[in-house]
Structure formats: structure tokens, C-alpha cells
Amino acid sequence: MTESSHVPIRTCIGCRERATRSELLRVVIGSDASGQSVVRPDPRGAAPGRGAHLHPTTGCYDLAVRRRAFSRALRAGEALSSTPVAEHLAAQQHLAQH
């Protein structure tokens, strides 16, 4: 395997399965309209800061929420709202149906 054919592998914080980075949705800590820290989707993978990866499915999202994986993976000292990620996944699912 040559250096140019290296494919980054990441672990989904929901199901804990490994997948290529391109198959997963990156999430980062951001702010909502009121300035509170929240988990934000980073579909382009270009946002600064520590990121975590998640399969873009409601199943993996629900597992991550149940396990409180967002705060742990992003090393946040507080519980974070992941509503923006849920809204992003719902919008993507809606687009896929049409």
C-alpha cells in the first residue's frame, strides 16, 4: 500500500464500528443562537477544533445520545445539546426521499 492510497478510518461514536472518513458525518462543538455550546454537524469536515464521527443515520445518532458519547468524544466538560445534528440528519433524510 502506497502513501497516496491511504484511506482515513474513523470510529462511529454511535455504533462503535469503524468506517472510512467519507462514510461518516463529522461533528464539532459550536454555538447556538443564544451562545450555548452545542454539537454541530460538519459535513465538509473543515471546521476547526476537535471532531467526532458518526454514521449519518438516526440509529447511530440515537445510540450516541443514549451513551452520552458526544460530550465524551468531543472532550466537553458539560452535557451538550445535539439538536443541530438531529435536525441535519432529518433534513438529509427528507432530501433523500424526494
Number of neighbouring beta carbons within 10 Å of residue 55: 20
Give the structural domain span for 36. Answer: 3-97
Report residue 18 as a C-alpha cell: 469503524
Average pLDDT score over the chain: 93
Q: What is the mean pLDDT of residues 83-94?
A: 94
- Residue-wise pLDDT for 51-78, tens only, equals 999 999 999 999 999 999 999 999 998 8
User: What is the end-to-end Cα distance of the chain in Å, rounded?
Assistant: 40
* pLDDT of residue 2 exceeding 60: no
Alpha helices in the chain (DSSP H): 58-66, 69-73, 83-97
- Residue-wise pLDDT for 25-47, tens only, equals 999 999 989 999 999 999 999 99
Q: For the domain that residue 73 is a member of, what is the CATH number? A: 3.30.1230.10
Residue 31 C-beta-side C-alpha neighbours within 13 Å: 4
Instruction: Report the percentage of the chain scoring pLDDT > 90.
Output: 83
How many separate domains does the chain show? 1
